[in-house]
């Protein structure tokens, strides 16, 4: 079911028997508005807003600067929607969408659960602003790209560490969040060091007396952990890097990770947004 809002967002939900637990779903640096994951989640009892943040209609064409007020509009839209159960909503973000979700959870109200698929706990790729706060992007060095004989780059070492020098300013203050976190990690992710980011996020939360996040690691899984039975994306063009890059992953292990991660994400949201386990978490 598609519902029109002030910015013409598309809310996917089951018809009848609402309201449903609400989730905002965001993808990565590819831009645009992928809706397939939102559609699939809607079949399992969620009201889902697939949220574009650049490269779509009147949104910025390039990823240079983001204002969190735009994402706050989306959160408020969901909290006020008659098909959304409340009192809080969930966030689901992949890659760049993951660090945006962490930023939303850190600064915005009304967020109960945040699931991140191979995301970063540092702000990456663009300046982030919210009111009087500015978070610079994590530094990077393209000279660290390793190119194989096929001309495909390995960018795993391109980003600087958010624990050193001025790059510490890029670390998102997730200790301010008032929600539960789930980190889905592909241990063969070649986009960036997702396992390192999840571990550092966990350390920071616990150092500030916050609940330890759930971290689920998948050996042999690459960056693009999609819903079950999606073909593994081993390599493709990276818009920010400007060349084809490898994403990592061993086919069988990656496929198995996609099946299990999909169950884990649903269970996480049912647990924290509905307050009870859901049988649908055991389905594909």
pLDDT digits (tens, 9 = 90+) for 243-279: 999 999 999 999 999 999 999 999 999 999 986 554 4
Give the residue-averaged pLDDT of 204-222.
98
What is the pLDDT of the chain when averaged over all its residues? 92
pTM, full prediction: 0.92
**Where in the chain are the domains?**
10-274
Which residues have a Cβ under 8 Å from the Cβ of 8 and sit 6 or more positions away? none
CB of 122 within 8 A of CB of 59?
no
Provide, for the chain, the percentages of residues in helix, strand and coil under a 3-state DSSP scheme, each rounded to the nearest 5: 30, 25, 45
CB of 51 within 8 A of CB of 9?
yes
pLDDT tens-digit profile of 66-84? 999 999 999 999 999 999 9
Q: Nearest-5° angle of CA 229, CA 231, CA 233?
A: 140
Third-level CATH fold of 10-274: Rossmann fold (3.40.50)
> What pLDDT, on a 0 to 100 scale, did the predictor assign at position 208?
98
Using CA atoms, how far apart are residues 141 and 159, in angstroms rounded to an integer? 7
Helix (H) or strand (E) holding 80: helix 68-80
Task: Provide Rg for the chain, Cα atoms.
Answer: 18
pLDDT tens-digit profile of 85-101? 989 999 999 999 999 99
Q: Which residues are catalytic?
A: 95, 189, 223
């Amino acid at each position: 079911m598609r519902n029109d809002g002030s910015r013409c967002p598309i809310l996917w939900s089951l018809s009848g028997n609402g309201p449903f637990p609400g989730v905002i779903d965001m993808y990565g640096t590819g831009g645009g508005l992928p809706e397939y994951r939102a559609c699939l989640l809607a079949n399992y009892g969620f009201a889902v807003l697939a949220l574009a943040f650049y490269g779509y209609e009147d949104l910025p064409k390039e990823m240079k600067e983001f204002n969190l007020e735009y994402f706050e509009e989306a959160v408020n839209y969901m909290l006020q929607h008659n098909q959304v159960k409340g009192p809080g909503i969930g966030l689901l973000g992949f890659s760049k969408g993951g660090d945006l979700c962490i930023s939303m959870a850190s600064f915005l109200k009304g967020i109960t659960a945040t699931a991140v698929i191979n995301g970063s706990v540092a702000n990456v790729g663009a300046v982030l602003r919210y009111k009087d706060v500015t978070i610079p992007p994590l530094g990077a060095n393209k000279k660290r790209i390793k190119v194989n004989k096929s001309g495909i780059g390995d960018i795993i070492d391109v980003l600087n560490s958010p624990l050193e020098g001025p790059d510490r300013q890029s670390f998102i203050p997730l200790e301010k969040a008032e929600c539960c976190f789930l980190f889905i990690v592909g241990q063969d992710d070649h986009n960036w060091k997702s396992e390192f980011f999840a571990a550092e996020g966990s350390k920071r939360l616990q150092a500030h007396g916050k609940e330890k996040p759930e971290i689920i690691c998948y050996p042999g899984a690459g960056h693009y952990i999609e819903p079950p039975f999606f073909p593994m994306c081993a390599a493709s063009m990276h818009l920010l890097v400007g060349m084809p890059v490898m994403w990592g992953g061993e086919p069988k292990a990656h496929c198995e990770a996609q099946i299990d991660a999909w169950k884990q994400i649903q269970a996480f949201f049912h647990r924290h947004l509905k307050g009870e386990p859901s049988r649908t978490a055991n389905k594909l």
